[in-house]
Amino acid sequence: MPSAQESAASSSGHVRILVYSDNAHVRDQIRSALGTRVHPDLPELTYLDVATAPVVVSTIDGGGIDLAILDGEAAPAGGMGLAKQLKDEVADCPPILVLTGRPDDAWLASWSRAEAAVSHPIDPIALGEAVAALLRTLVN
């Protein structure tokens, strides 16, 4: 049986993505890399930009987010620690993709319980493929 998150993503025709970074330029890069649709067979993307960790936690806890992309290089709260906190504390936490500082940090993303990791600098193809893979788990 699909969870509430799966039902919302597949029935609404769009996916709501929370994009967290303290750096507005990084948030812009993420949105630009993904655009409004990562694949013709997947729902349209809408975004919620967040610059602080407390807002991330309260928004995720409130529901309505289908996927979170967290900047592992954000300060003062990095995306990997935030991912771990969300997975430990929020029931029905949506899938999380963490942007790591370098490819070798993928093990830290795994520790944080993030479902995916892509390294900086943001590669639109790698990010799009990772997001598409996560979205397929939501809509199927």
Point out which residues pair with 47 in neighbouring strands.
17
Q: What is the pLDDT of residue 12?
A: 64
d(CA 6, CA 26): 27
d(CA 71, CA 107): 15
Domain coverage including residue 47:
4-139
Q: What is the pLDDT of residue 3?
A: 45
Q: What is the pLDDT of residue 11?
A: 54
| DSSP state, residue 94 | P
State the CATH number of the domain containing residue 24. Answer: 3.40.50.2300
Does the predicted TM-score (pTM) go above 0.85? yes
**Considering its fold, how many domains does the chain have in total?**
1
Q: What is the pLDDT of residue 13?
A: 84
pLDDT profile of the chain (140 residues), mean per 10: 43 88 97 96 96 97 97 94 96 95 82 93 96 91
Exposure on the CB side of residue 50, measured as CA atoms within 13 A: 24
Angle CA 102–121–22, to nearest 5: 95
